[in-house]
Structure 1
Amino acid sequence: MTKGSNKESIFLNEHLMAVVCVSSVITGAASLFLLSLQENNYLAIFGLVIKLITTATMFFAFRHYNWDVTKGLMGGVFFSLMYEEAYLVLGKLWSEQDFDVYLVVGVQGSLYLAAAGMSFLMTIVITINHFIINYAIHGNPENVIFNRMAIIFKFIVYIILIVTNSMLGLSASGMWANALMYLTDMAILIMLICIESQFDSFKLLHHELLNEKRERKNNK
């Protein structure tokens, strides 16, 4: 990855990062409001609140160049995503009673269960790869590209979730709460890959500058 290609990457655009951060807060707040209208959603509400607070804090830490704090908060956001999806998949959808209910609904119920499970597995893969990127000494553009591809695939899974979610016969508030939560997660993932790309770009540039400095010393 060269400096020229880095400058052309949309993921290095800080305006995009600001837009998706605001979008995630707006859609997350709307989802939070709809969840509060339903009963027995305390764990989902708690997970969403923690995720939104961590995401907003991460963005402001990055904008103020406190990168060590940003890296820690990025891990917090990924774990919030995993907690939320684990609670949805393992605690609700794949529990014995709810699992049968979704299968009875029809093909859309089966697709929803499969897509939710795939989304959870993709979050685990993206999180592991994120830590490999974050704690590499030098730039790791191959892993950054892998995470971008994984997130694109996860977006396709989110689209399947949103479409099948609308066909499950849920209440209007439940259907929109789920859909807005998926849109929130999509915005957060874009922001995470933007920050990953920024960090990787800084590492690559630092490595190139060190090599140039060594070459000048050797030529003297």
Structure 2
Amino acid sequence: MAKTHDAERAGAARRAKIVSAALTLFAVQGYRGTSLAAIAREAGITQSGLLHHFPTKEALLAEVLAERDRQTFDAVEVGREYEGPAMVRTLEIVYDMVTRSRQNRELTRMGHLGAFGSNDIPEIALEWARERVRTFRAHLAAVVKEGVAAGHVRADADPTAVASLIIGTITGLEEQWLLDESFDMVAAMGAFTRILRRDLIIEG
């Protein structure tokens, strides 16, 4: 039994190393420009060892994209307990997400490659980006709608429009930062969330 657990732990560690290497290389060199052999070298294993865990490059990409989201949401502690109206908590979370993006350029660039790199990224990544935006918009809109019903958010707030504005701001600020690393997107996001809080939230 101990040997089985050891083997499972070793396998999980090897998978994590492969995903980390792939994330770095995909973000820097692009999906098409990165070979499985290069990923295996970066991970310190053989290509056959890599294929044991990920039989195709697309399967590896799917795991890289899933890992990107796990790292992002774990970092901003989406599931933690907050006090106060849900809309206030949500603005804190989206601010933390942009802060997290600044801390890991590779993860941030990977997300934008998925959304816009149609010549470099396969359909699986484009669909991931589409679904991610759809889900994020729906969740944000639900929070706004809940806030309106609870009397915490202005009654004339359009949930879908507010959600789309938040997503567009995050995306635009990240793009500016990816083009110019001296751009302070965290400060800009802080200003944006303060404006939303001032204009949307009814202080109790």
TM range (shorter): 0.3 to 0.5
TM-score (norm 2): 0.34
Q: Which has the higher helix share?
A: 1
TM-score (norm 1): 0.32
